[in-house]
Copies of this chain bind each other. A is one copy, B any other.
Amino acid sequence: MQCGDPVEQVSLRAGMTVGELVDAMGRAGAYNGGALARAASVYETMLRDEHAVKFLGLAGAMVPAGMGGIVADLVERGYVDVLVSTGANLTHDVIEALGCRHYHGSAACSDLELRAEEINRIYDVFLPNDAFIRFEEFMQEVFSGLPTGAPLKICELLAVIGRALPSGILASAAEREVPVYCPALADSMIGLQYWLFSQTRRVTVDAFLDLQPLLDTCFEAKRAGALLVGGGVPKNFILQSMLMTPRGFDYAIQLTGDRPDLGGLSGATLDEARSWGKITGSATAVTVYGDATITLPLLVAAVLERMAA
């Protein structure tokens, strides 16, 4: 056991940059503030490693909370090679890209009144139901244009959607040809729209075909890194992708509000992932516990500052 650097008491000043703040948190070095500073170092190293394939996992209702802009920007900057998302984030990305908006609301409200006024609530964000009418029109049009021959991959379907949109995560990914995986796409409004579409027509989307290009990427990667925003399917799908290869992730950053002691994967430590070989024994890996609406902007702004330096 050895003591590291001394804890430096944090000194703040008006007008300091986010990078300077995170540096100060790093010199303090304790608890999740210290972890966030270490996460910035791991993420910077990962982004600077041109031989590392960069994965981004996106779970939690991040797009309704305005975090989609950060993700789309990371894609556009070339900092994402593989994106894995929940279906909900992609649904809300489509909604925003179509010009519909989410609104500031309140968690202390009457959900019965909201229901009567056709406003859907996501904690303290409100989404008027109208958005889903526009969403339905768009999705049905996209589905109508799909090829009816060989089974489609889910990532191919998502690329088609992305190409039909002017902005957002799916649009940026389509433009940069970044594959977007979403194994549980049926578990989203996009899935329900497909069901509606399938009442009259049929396009086969294969549940497993995406594994081929994903595992090809893993087999070909010299090194690999992952930024995991939340847990859920995206975290598991990214980490398990290395299980079939002789390698594991070399870099991993996890921003999560879950806890390890409940046993679920979403809160599991990245050390646990080493026992499975999902992460290499020597990987640099950091978990930051907290709300990603705070930790994600803080982490990314600090790393952008370092990358620009």
In the assembly, what is the distance between CA of A80 and CA of B61, in Å?
29
**Range of interface residues on A (Cβ < 8 Å):** 35 or more
Contact among B15, B31, B292 with A123 in the assembled complex (CB-CB below 8 Å): B31
Chain A positions 279 through 309: 1 when the CB is less than 8 Å from some CB of chain B, otherwise 0: 0010000000111111101101100110111
Q: Is the CB of A259 within 8 A of B262?
A: no
Looking across the interface, which residue of chain B has its beta carbon closest to that of A258?
B258
- Tell me whether A177 is interfacial, beta carbon within 8 Å: no
Looking across the interface, which residue of chain B has its beta carbon closest to that of A152?
B207
Q: Is the CB of A30 within 8 A of B260?
A: no
Q: Is the CB of A123 within 8 A of B268?
A: yes
Looking across the interface, which residue of chain B has its beta carbon closest to that of A270?
B111
Q: Is the CB of A263 within 8 A of B6?
A: no
Q: Enumerate A54-70 residues with CB–CB distance to B below 8 Å.
A: 59-61, 63-70
In the assembly, what is the distance between CA of A26 and CA of B272, in Å?
22
In the assembly, what is the distance between CA of A199 and CA of B295, in Å?
41
Chain A positions 68 through 98: 1 when the CB is less than 8 Å from some CB of chain B, otherwise 0: 1110110000000000000010000000100
**Those 8 A-B pairs whose CB atoms lie nearest each other, nearest first:** A28-B66, A9-B69, A33-B293, A4-B104, A14-B308, A3-B103, A30-B65, A184-B184
